[in-house]
């Protein structure tokens, strides 16, 4: 099984790794994709725009091609 997480902040990687370890998830199961550009765009736009939504959707679809599950946290800017 491969689970991929889409993060907008690199600091979330350690949080998810710790949670996975606590749950007994093998280290090779969890993969991380960090996209700080999505958060930066939302901060610059002062909220979520259709462009950011489309970029996030595209990223999730791309990650889903190589994973059994993809996790995405709160929307950028929230």
Tell whether 40 is covered by a domain: yes
Tell whether 78 is covered by a domain: no
Render pLDDT for 21-78 as a digit per residue (tens, 0 to 9): 999 999 899 999 999 999 999 999 999 999 999 999 999 999 999 999 999 876 554 5
pLDDT for position 72? 83
Domain total in the chain: 1
**What is the pLDDT averaged over residues 4-16?**
95
Tell me the whole-structure pTM to 2 decimals.
0.85
Q: Which domain holds residue 61?
A: 3-72
| CA 57 to centroid of chain Cα atoms | 11
Which burial class, exposed, middle or buried, applies to 70 when counting CB atoms under 10 A from its CB (0-12, 13-18, 19+)?
buried
39: nearest Cα among 20, 56, 58, 61 = 56
């Amino acid at each position: 099984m491969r689970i991929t997480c889409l993060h907008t902040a690199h600091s979330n990687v350690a949080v998810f790794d710790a949670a996975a370890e606590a749950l007994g998830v093998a280290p090779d199961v969890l993969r991380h994709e960090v996209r700080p550009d999505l958060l930066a765009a939302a901060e610059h736009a002062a909220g979520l725009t259709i462009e950011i939504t489309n970029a996030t959707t595209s990223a999730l679809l791309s990650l889903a091609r190589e994973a059994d599950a993809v996790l995405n946290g709160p929307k950028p800017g929230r």
